[in-house]
A and B are shown apart, each in its own frame.
Chain A
Amino acid sequence: MVQDGEVVSDRAAKVWGWIAAAHEDDGPVSVAAVCKAAALKLGVDGASVTVMSGLLVGAPLFASDELSTLLEELQFTAGEGPGAEEFWLGAPVLIGDLQSAAARWPGFVPEAVAAGAQAMFALPLQAGAIRVGVLSLYRKVPGPLSAGELADVLVFADIALQLLLDASAGISGSPTYLPLDTLSERRAVVYQATGMISVQLGVSLAEALARLRAHAFASSAALGDIAGEVVSRRLRFDPGGGTDP
């Protein structure tokens, strides 16, 4: 529960602080650090992120531990499980007691439980029609996420979505990189501009959003400002374009 925008950015700053602290090497902060921080801070035993094919970020899977990796493999093999759901419009799949979902995923739950997972939570990394992957968490004991944990998890998912987009655009490697500047940019203009750029460049919405974010980052401008330039037709991503096909 939040009272206003300030509380939200406090939560976002807190979560980003956890992720930055979990990040040890000198390289760019990656989704691996998101998984590690999630496992440490959310009262869960492991976290993993699977990346949709087509998004070139180097790895299809990030996981905090071996059981997380195994759970992803089991779901991939069975073609079912919390992280293998359709996620139309992005509602998370939250299973506080995995055993109780045996009938829903008969090809996955028995093996997952035998391997040691008792609760699983899957969150699509999604913004409208853009889907880049899934964040999955598991617990060795049954139990739901608390309201506070769930609010944190949503922020983790937001950051993972942005990190993956920014990694694909090659901007997450900079020492000054911070995904938080745009975390609250759910503003309409950003997604309108994303749709426009996807048409201008003939690319997917995910790539269009990555390009928009990269442009804002490279010009040290706010994402919303660059998006506004696009929507007001002062900026195009296909120089020389603009004539009707």
Chain B
Amino acid sequence: MLRGAPQGSAGRYPGTMAATVDERLAQTFVELADTLVGGFDLMEFLHMLAERCVELLEVDAAGLLLADARGTLQLVAASTEQARVVELFQIQNDEGPCLDSYRTGQPVIVPDMAAAEAAARWPRFATAAREMGFVAVHAIPMRLRDQVIGTMNLFGTAPDELDPAVARAARALVDIATIGILQERATREHELVAGQLQVALNSRVIIEQAKGILAERLRVTPDQAFLMLRDYSRNNNHPLTLLAGDVISGTSGLIASSQARLRPRARSERAGR
């Protein structure tokens, strides 16, 4: 995956224990700059960036959202499944700190999602984030002058104010990523980027369509349908978009197995009507 990089952080950073954040940051810059020449793969670059964010910034998960040609945010990288779910939730429900950061071009720092202010500002997202185990959420815009191309989002499982030194390091990582992406978009790779973002868009739409089908067939809410998709995907080790495609074509076992589980409840609901 990573050219020439040994696996595991101890191997990647000789003497890691002694290396300061600044030294590790410098090493990461070299590594990122390395990917910007030669066979650049945007998605590989973004996944690496998400992983480095977790290691360097001492957060529990990271996700990256990029805007497509229409200005719609698409999920392009997430360090964990939980981060992926939370990022998708924001886009799907058009609510959350990362969206606000994109729209305003300003960082949105949320030390504690359980705080009254956060819960009032993003009622649905606050619940979803807590369900996925995230308490702190920090969104940093990927921005060059007036142009905002996406956001980098950091998730913590405990309340976290985002230390100023960490914030500076995050800012530096975001800046190098932004410049790299813009440079690539300006040159030969814009076709590839557009294609990948188009795939991200359709992946998201296909999941929504499957949620609607499940919601109607099983008499659940779209949010409940999403959790069912996610759980079935995880339990059967079947990627979410492929599962969504199976639900739509009627070839997934998800509906039958869920109907078996939901039947007693559905029956009592009918009786009460």
| Same assembly | yes
Q: A interface vs B, CB < 8 Å?
A: 1-5, 7-8, 89-92, 94, 126-130, 144-145, 147, 150-151, 154-155, 158, 184, 186-188, 190-200, 205, 231, 243-244
Q: Which of B3-11, B129-137, B188-196 contacts A (4 or more CB under 8 A)?
A: B188-196
Query: Is B120 in contact with chain A by the CB < 8 A criterion?
Result: no
Q: Among the interface residues A2, A94, A150, A158, which one has the most CB atoms of the partner chain B within 10 A?
A: A2
Nearest residue, chain B, Cβ from A93: B195
A19 to chain B, nearest CB (A): 17
Which of A3, A90, A243 touches B201 (beta carbons < 8 Å)?
A90
> Chain B interface (Cβ within 8 Å of chain A)?
67-72, 91-94, 103, 146-149, 182, 185-186, 188, 190-191, 194-196, 198-199, 201-217, 219, 222, 241, 244-245, 248-249, 266, 270
**7 A-B pairs in the complex with CB atoms less than 8 angstroms apart:** A2-B70, A89-B198, A147-B190, A186-B70, A192-B211, A194-B212, A231-B215
B194 touches which of A4, A126, A150, A193 (Cβ 8 Å): A150
Q: Given A4-B103, A8-B70, A147-B186: A193 and B212 within 8 A (CB)?
A: yes
Q: Are B211 and A195 in contact (CB under 8 A)?
A: yes
Enumerate chain A residues within 8 angstroms of B93, measured Cβ to Cβ.
Answer: 188
Whether B71 lies near A4 (C-beta < 8 A) is yes
B67: chain A residues at CB < 8 Å are 2
Given A3-B148, A89-B241 in contact, is the A191-B71 Cβ separation under 8 Å? no
Judging by beta carbons under 8 Å apart, are A195 and B210 in contact?
yes
Please tell me if the beta carbons of B191 and A127 are within 8 angstroms of each other in the complex.
no
| Closest Cβ–Cβ distance, residue B92 to chain A (whole Å) | 4
Interface of B is mostly: helix
Determine which of A4, A129, A187, A190 lies in contact with B206 in the assembled complex, contact meaning CB atoms within 8 Å.
A129
Identify the closest chain B residue to A191 (Cβ): B208
Report the number of A-B residue pairs with Cβ-Cβ less than 8 Å: 141
The answer to whether residues A192 and B202 also contact, given A129-B245, A244-B219 and a CB cut-off of 8 A, is no
Please report the C-alpha to C-alpha distance between residue A133 and residue B237 in the assembled complex, in whole angstroms.
Answer: 32
Contacting residues, chain A, for B208 (C-beta < 8 A) = 128, 188, 190-192, 194-195
B residues in contact with A130, CB < 8 Å: 209
Q: Bound complex: CA of A19 vs CA of B211, how far in Å?
A: 34
- Please state if B202 and A244 are interface contacts (CB–CB under 8 Å): no
- Cβ contacts under 8 Å, A1 to chain B: 69, 147, 149, 182, 185
The answer to whether B201 and A205 touch across the interface, beta carbons within 8 angstroms, is no
Query: 6 closest pairs, A vs B, by CB?
Result: A195-B212, A128-B205, A191-B208, A91-B195, A128-B206, A199-B216
Whether B148 lies near A150 (C-beta < 8 A) is no
Residues of A within 8 A of B204 (CB): 128, 188
Which chain B residues lie closer than 8 Å to A144 at the CB level? 188, 191
Contact call B94/A90, Cβ cutoff below 8 A = no
Contacts of A2 in B (CB 8 A): 67, 69-71
Write out the residue numbers on chain B whose beta carbons fall within 8 Å of the beta carbon of A188: 91-94, 204, 208, 211, 222
- A19 vs B155: C-alpha distance in the bound complex, in angstroms? 45
Q: Which residues of A contact B209 (CB under 8 A)?
A: 128-130, 191-192, 194-195, 205
What is the CA–CA distance of A188 and B94 in the complex, to the nearest angstrom?
Answer: 8
Q: In the complex, what distance in Å separates the CA atom of A92 from the CA atom of B199?
A: 9
Q: Apart from A89-B198, A154-B194, A188-B222, what are 7 other A-B pairs with CB-CB below 8 Å? A: A4-B148, A90-B199, A126-B202, A191-B209, A194-B209, A195-B214, A195-B215
- Point out the residues of chain A lying under 8 angstroms from B201, CB to CB: 90, 186
Minimum Cβ distance to chain A for residue B145 (Å): 10
For residue A8, which residues in chain B have a CB less than 8 angstroms away from its CB? 70-72
Complex CA–CA separation, A179 to B255 (angstroms): 35
The interface residues of chain A lying within 8 Å CB-to-CB of B217 are 199
Inter-subunit contact A127/B69 (CB<8 Å): no
CA distance A144 to B245 in the complex (A): 32
A192's closest neighbor in chain B, by CB? B212
> Which residues of the other chain, B, contact A126 by a CB distance below 8 angstroms?
202
Complex-state Cα separation, A128 to B247, whole angstroms:
13
Closest-CB distance, B192 to chain A (whole angstroms): 9
- Chain B: which residue is nearest A4 at the CB level? B71
A195 to B244, CA, bound (A): 11
A194 to B212, CA, bound (A): 7
Residues of the B chain whose Cβ atoms lie less than 8 Å from the Cβ of A243:
270
Taking the closest CB of chain B, its distance from the CB of A126, in whole angstroms, is: 6
Cβ of B149: which chain A residues have Cβ within 8 Å of it? 1
